[in-house]
Amino acid sequence: MAFGIKRAELNEWKAAVRRGEIAFLTHYWLDDRFPGCHTVTKAGCADLSRLEEWGRAYGLRPEWIDHKEHFPHFDLFGEREYAILEAEGRQDLIDRFRLGSGTKKA
């Protein structure tokens, strides 16, 4: 279940993905399969070769790309989510979702 984002944010992410940009969408997320993970970041790009190359730079494998709904993306969570957002200069998302060292701060 996703929550904590506005429709306009989702639409902006979709537009950036369609333009072939590497775009980030972070939201709160609950999934019993991933205990302790309270957020997920979707790193998407419609240009699959660009997305694969970007992912390889962070140790992400092309087979991990989610091709759902015409918006190919990697799902990032936990320590990897934090490390990639930090490396990408997305302090805004780190602060907004209170991420730190891969876990949500209390």
Q: Which tens digits make up the pLDDT trace of 30-76?
A: 888 888 889 999 999 999 999 999 999 999 999 999 998 899 999 99
pLDDT category, 101, cuts 50, 70, 90?
Answer: low
Buried b (16+ CB within 10 A) or exposed e, 13-38: bbebbeeeebbbbbbebeeeeeeebb
pLDDT category, 106, cuts 50, 70, 90?
Answer: very low
Mean pLDDT of the residues in the chain: 91
* Domain around 76: 2-104
Average pLDDT over residues 6-29: 96
For the chain, how many structural domains are there in total?
1
How many residues can be counted in the chain? Answer: 106
Please tell me the predicted confidence (pLDDT) of residue 68: 82
Please tell me the predicted confidence (pLDDT) of residue 49: 98
**CB burial class (10 A; 0-12, 13-18, 19+) of residue 105?**
exposed
The CA-based angle 27-16-4, given to 5 degrees, is 15
CA separation for the pair 62, 103 (Å, rounded): 25
pLDDT category, 29, cuts 50, 70, 90?
Answer: confident
pLDDT category, 3, cuts 50, 70, 90?
Answer: confident
